[in-house]
Amino acid sequence: MKIKTVLLSAALASVTFVATSNIVQAQDCPRNLVVPASVQTRTIRQEKFGYSFKIPNNYRTMVRQGNVLLIFDPNSFAEAQCLIKNQAPTELPKSISIYVKSVNSQNQSLTNLIKKDDPTAEKFENIKVANRAAITYISSTLGVNQNVSLFTPDRKYIITISAPFNFKEGRPTTIFNKKVFDQVLSSLTFVR
């Protein structure tokens, strides 16, 4: 009863109570340059979705929300882990992402499904990835990204490999960590 009286009195007197927090701010997490990719590679397998690909031996992966796999250099991985551990209210560092989305393709084209899902998608080009038809395109939903999407062999999922663009003077210039992005694309295979 006393606490209610104190809080009511404080509210009537316009007194604000401030609770302190132990949450680490984003600036407390290490932020270093991107580490160059090692020449040696290792294979990452995603059994659930039936694919594998190669990344540099010194790079790390992190699964988010069950269907997103992020690929980080060692410094960015350490920063991402710090941000997540400390619940810092900020975006994770730049990474290459692989996103898997369940679809009911009903004989729709890959391009049409992409356009429905992302109205910012543009500059579509047909390419081949893992000996399958794929689409490369640019989107600007969350930043500006280079994306490559393709159906899984059973057409139940669309796999999208995405990398953000680097910016110079407010304009997108080159694909972030393009060498690793290209390595993931060129080594992607479907496993049975």
pLDDT tens, position by position, 149-190: 999 999 999 999 999 999 999 889 999 999 999 999 999 999
Question: What pLDDT was estimated at residue 27?
Answer: 57
Question: What pLDDT was estimated at residue 7?
Answer: 41
Question: What pLDDT was estimated at residue 89?
Answer: 82
Q: In Å, how far from its chain's centre is CA 4?
A: 46
User: What is the CATH classification number for the domain harbouring 183?
Assistant: 3.40.1000
Residue-wise pLDDT for 61-95, tens only, equals 999 988 999 999 999 999 999 999 988 888 899 99
Residue-wise pLDDT for 88-142, tens only, equals 888 899 999 999 999 987 788 999 999 999 999 999 999 999 999 999 999 998 7
Counting the structural domains of the chain, the total is 1
Question: What pLDDT was estimated at residue 17?
Answer: 35
Is residue 130 domain-resident?
yes
Is residue 152 domain-resident?
yes
CA angle 170–173–175, rounded 5-degree value: 125
- Residue 35 clears pLDDT 90, i.e. is over it: yes
Is residue 9 domain-resident?
no
**pLDDT grade for 5, boundaries at 50, 70 and 90:** very low
How many alpha carbons lie under 13 Å from residue 135 in its C-beta half-sphere? Answer: 20
Is residue 128 domain-resident?
yes
Is residue 11 domain-resident?
no
Give the domain extent around 91. Answer: 28-190
Is residue 82 domain-resident?
yes
DSSP string over 108-177: --HHHHHHHH-TT-EEEEEEEETTEEEEEEEE-SSS-EEEEEEE-TTSSEEEEEEEEEEEETTEEEEETT
- Residue 14 clears pLDDT 90, i.e. is over it: no
- Residues in CB range of 160: below 8 A, 6 or more apart: 97, 98, 99, 100, 101, 147, 148, 149
Indicate the DSSP class of residue 57. T
Is residue 80 domain-resident?
yes
Is residue 158 domain-resident?
yes
- Residues in CB range of 159: below 8 A, 6 or more apart: 49, 51, 98, 99, 100, 149, 150, 151, 152, 188
